[in-house]
Copies of this chain bind each other. A is one copy, B any other.
Amino acid sequence: MTYKYNNVYIEDAFTIGGPYESNGPIGIYLSKRYTKDLYFNETSWEKAETKILHESIFNLLKNNNLFDNDIDLIISGDLQNQISSSNYAIRNFNIPFLGIYNACATISEGLIIASNFIESNNNKRIIVSTSSHNMMSEKQFRNPTEYGAPKPDTATFTVTGATSVLVTNNKSKIKIESSTIGRVMDLNVKDVNNMGAVMAPGAGETIIKHLKDLNRDNNYYDLILTGDLGIYGEKILKDYLKQKYKFTLKNYKDCGTIIYDISKQPVFAGGSGPACSALVMFSYIIDLMKEGKYKKVLFVPTGALFSPTRVFQKESIPSIAHAISLEVVK
């Protein structure tokens, strides 16, 4: 499903990264950097993640001189079971809440719901948030890192960070121009350490659907930016599009390979997690858009709908990807 919008803008965003993200290539673009450890003065990984998610919302409000009752709605989701990072961060705000989950594609789902609510003139200001935490994710989805389980090169490294985005009908420099909601794909991949392979087909289908629905060609976007496919997933996506659609991706990058220096940091095939694409897009890329380097960006966060329980039951891993077109306003 593809939507066009005339009235939806990004007013501001607040991005927070942990030590790996702060010391990586996009570190200087982040709103706030934690460089010491992954606890952030909390007593559990779950609480640490909640703390930075709360902080991203709190600072977004503060920086824009807004109070809770200036915000119509907050839409948020994360990887913690029962999206607890969102539930617990948001109980401290007096703002109506919708909880969402599309794994690492969560930020795009939130932006699409927010855009539709704003475009229909029912809302003026919506905050869309997401977070992820490396240690929380490893513990919940694989093994606590203390076990020291070895990983193959195709594994990705969950980003520790939080992003909150203020979506509004107030004209600003960056517009949400259109969006495409993806469908659940499953190509029978069962390898929990190769999420790039799980997610690449979903990304490919959503990109093709978006371009086709809006009758756009390969040159329309200055940048097509997928979520977190990593170095192997990037290659699979390119091959998939070439073989299935004879389509050659141009001006293409992946957030998972932007957020870290893969040659130097111990991150395997690159970054992942809902905060990966959210941090890259709403710190580094949005700054480059404001500077005029990119005018039209297709942002395609990708999500592996991975359930450890289901994988133990020998199921394959489904995936999803949604596309958002962001444009610099003339």
Contacts and interface: CB of A to CB of B under 8 A. Distances in A.
A50 to B, nearest CB: 9
Given A119-B120, A313-B47, A183 B81 contact: no
Interface stretch (A94-102, A164-172, A221-229, A248-256): A94-102
A308 B305 CA distance: 21
B99 A102 contact: yes
A182 to B, nearest CB: 6
Interface stretch (A30-38, A72-80, A192-200, A288-296): A72-80
Interface in A90-109: 90-91, 93-103, 109
A253 B100 CA distance: 28
A83 interface: yes
B99 A100 contact: yes
A122 B5 CA distance: 10
A18 interface: no
Interface string A106-132: 000100110011011011000000000
A72 B213 CA distance: 13
A1 interface: yes
Interface residues of A, number: 54
A261 interface: no
Contacts of A306: 82
Nearest to A184: B91
Instruction: Report which residue of A44, A82, A109, A117 has the largest number of chain B beta carbons within 10 angstroms of its beta carbon.
Output: A82
Contacts of A280: none
Contacts of A90: 183-184
A215 interface: no
A88 B306 CA distance: 10
Contacts of A43: 313
Contacts of A77: 101
B182 A122 contact: no
Contacts of A186: 91
Interface string A273-316: 00000000000000000000000000000000111111001010
Contact of A46 (B81, B84, B117, B313): B313
A59 interface: no
A116 B122 contact: yes
Contact of A109 (B98, B109, B320): B98
Contacts of A81: 81-82, 307-309
A313 to B, nearest CB: 5
6 contacts: A46-B310, A73-B181, A82-B306, A98-B100, A99-B100, A99-B109
Interface of A: 1, 3, 43-44, 46-47, 72-73, 77, 80-84, 87-88, 90-91, 93-103, 109, 112-113, 116-117, 119-120, 122-123, 181-186, 305-310, 313, 315, 318, 320
